[in-house]
A and B are shown apart, each in its own frame.
Chain A
Amino acid sequence: MMGKPTIPEPEFTFPGSTGCPGCGANLVMRYLLKGLGERTILSIPACCWAVMPGYWPSNCLKVPLLYTAFEATGAAMSGLRAALDAKGIKDVTIVGFAGDGGTVDIGLQAMSGAAERRTDGIYVMYDNEAYMNTGIQRSGSTPWGAWTTTTPVGSTHGFKHEAKKDIMAIMQAHRIPYAATVSVAHPEDFIKKVVKAREVKGFRFIHAMSPCPPGWRMNPMHIVEVARLAVDTHAFPLYEIENGKVRITRKGKGTPVSEYLKFQGRFSHLTDAEIASIQKTIDENWQMLLAKETSGT
């Protein structure tokens, strides 16, 4: 039995995005704007989406957008909101839309500042787990074990040996009113969280998993499947933090992480022992998340 679809029909993305075939970030933008609607102003720093709207004077989005410097998304959100407040313009959602490098690395300070100032806006990080627009260099959001062009797999060192930054915990520590993870494999959950975020005042954060076929070394046809496996294996759990309270929105099956990794060439060099080590970390993180949910924080 099919339920009634809850995804709003209006589209706010025109054809013409210059994203790669199978780009997860295209879906992230599409679902985000379906949830937010027309009264939205975007601010986008250097990232794939700084290129994807198309060459001037084209724009594949049906909302206005301000391009900004790589590290400045949070500040741009504050500036846009202040101008609207100065002009008495209400009912506009200000959105910062940045990649993982532009958020957890170079943009962390400006975002932290905007969150601390309680800037009224939604910060969306689409996480493809590396600097993909510049050609797959490692970021603070690249997971342990991944190949990138700056963590090449070689005989002496090879792959990334540092853990992925926990940006949700960082944002939770800012005591913001709402933060959530979303996945392109679960559009209904995605849009529900966006709509919820839209209704909250203050600084809100959305962490969107965004598979990248060229960067993850995978077939574009599998991106939704891979995104679903990220949730099912607990590599990318779906949860929200509302006024500090953690709630997991999809428990997932606990599928072995090898199922998720095997689709992606960026992990193809890993030994069974290394995969087991990833599994161990994921299990520990999942237990910690469950404990957070139980304790309410």
Chain B
Amino acid sequence: MREVMTGNYASAYGAKLARAEVIAAYPITPQTSIVEKLADFVTTGELKAQFIPVESEHSAMAACIAAETAGARTYTATSSHGLTLMHEVLIWASGARLPIVMTNVSRAMAPPWSVWVDHMDSIAQRDTGWLQFFCQSNQEVLDTIIMAYKVCESSGIMLPAMVIMDAFIQSHTSEPVDLPDQELVDSFLPPYSPDLKIEVGKPMGFGSLVKPDQYMEFRYKAMLGMKAARDRVLRVEREFKSIFGREHGGLLERYECDDADVVLVAAGSVAATAKDVVDSMRAKGHRVGLARIRSFRPFPHDEIRALAGKVEGMAVLDRSYTFGAAGAMFTEARASAYSVQKRPVMKNYIAGLGGRDITPRILERIFEDIQVVSRRGAEDEVEWVDVAGLQRRWR
């Protein structure tokens, strides 16, 4: 069944179709309509779940952790300040090896206050041990939530996943979304059945104190889980495609990259705009392509490396900035490309912070710039795009 809906509703439907059993959530703009919709589903009985209206995001995640430890499939959703308030318990969730799935509507951090899109909130959680999927469309949001449960609940993975969409551009923008049949989703995603859960009669401690001669092994095993997630994401998506007829690009979606001289690497909704720009530039004879980072954690190192071996220039667009370094997508992509014999010229473009539009014209300028610098070598490794008082060419 196809319906026109916002990214937020697509998210709520994703959690419903995945049959989340416990939902704990706290409202924050622009995530609120996810929680409202789920509260509706639970109230009307359309979704048989326990809804915990917690008093903070920290408690939302702490409640999900407890419920998931007791064997329930859990879901929550948040944004920006809510996500960063959760930071401590995000690390707890992955350390406890709990396959919680959460939507983050990526939004800028204050000050100054901003409710618009920016990836700083999500990027700031990159070391928490969560899988992180950046989505481009509302359909992808829904599909990724369902797939994320299947990826993460595997006994070899057992890590939580964050499904990320852009504030307002996706959360509040309506698109046609195919709602898969519940029976099909059920056949794809069986009920959550962990090997271990907290229950009476089994006096185990979950999260006990360990000595220095034991701690590293826990982190090592989590690392193995994240590593195994690379293949798992691809296999689950293949199975998803065989049932639902759709796919979203694995870890790194490549668009017109096969014969490209230069490519743009980006994540989130801007990728949709960039695809249009690729089409229009190709029509004018430019061999350009787009590589969309769909999975930021695990990072598509192999895919970026393979791509880096084929192109002359690689522009990496970051919708956040890591102070004292560069954009996080850029530093990761450059690390991936390091072992390539003939490395492309790589340049980082910081753009679209705090909801500033990244227009087709700006993307075209980025493509043109990377074409020029790939011929003569990069002048600046990192350039801030469309900032008042800086280079006029962006305006």
Contacts and interface: CB of A to CB of B under 8 A. Distances in A.
Q: How large is the interface on A (under 10, 10 to 19, 20 to 34, 35 or more residues)?
A: 35 or more
Nearest to A91: B200
B155 to A, nearest CB: 19
B366 to A, nearest CB: 42
Given A80-B66, A110-B55, A69 B92 contact: yes
Interface residues of B, number: 43
B54 interface: yes
Given A55-B211, A64-B198, A113 B55 contact: yes
Contacts of B53: 117
Given A79-B52, A109-B55, A68 B207 contact: yes
Contacts of A68: 62, 65-66, 92, 207
Interface in B130-160: none
A41 B200 contact: yes
A83 B71 contact: yes
Interface string B27-67: 00000000000000000000001101111101110111111
A86 B22 contact: yes
Nearest to B63: A79
A69 B57 CA distance: 13
Contacts of B58: 69, 71-72, 75, 110
Given A39-B200, A59-B204, A86-B21, A112 B70 contact: no
A83 B21 contact: yes
A229 interface: no
A50 B52 contact: no
A79 B56 contact: no
Given A40-B200, A62-B203, A78-B24, A55 B59 contact: no
Nearest to A74: B59
B274 to A, nearest CB: 40
A38 B203 CA distance: 9
Contacts of A117: 52-54
A51 to B, nearest CB: 6
A82 interface: yes
B61 to A, nearest CB: 8
Contact of B70 (A38, A39, A62, A83): A83
Interface of B: 21-22, 24, 49-50, 52-56, 58-60, 62-72, 74, 88-89, 92, 198-211, 214
Q: Which 5 A-B residue pairings sit nearest by Cβ, starting from the closest?
A: A79-B66, A113-B55, A67-B207, A83-B70, A79-B63
9 contacts: A41-B199, A54-B208, A55-B208, A57-B208, A75-B58, A75-B66, A86-B67, A92-B200, A117-B53
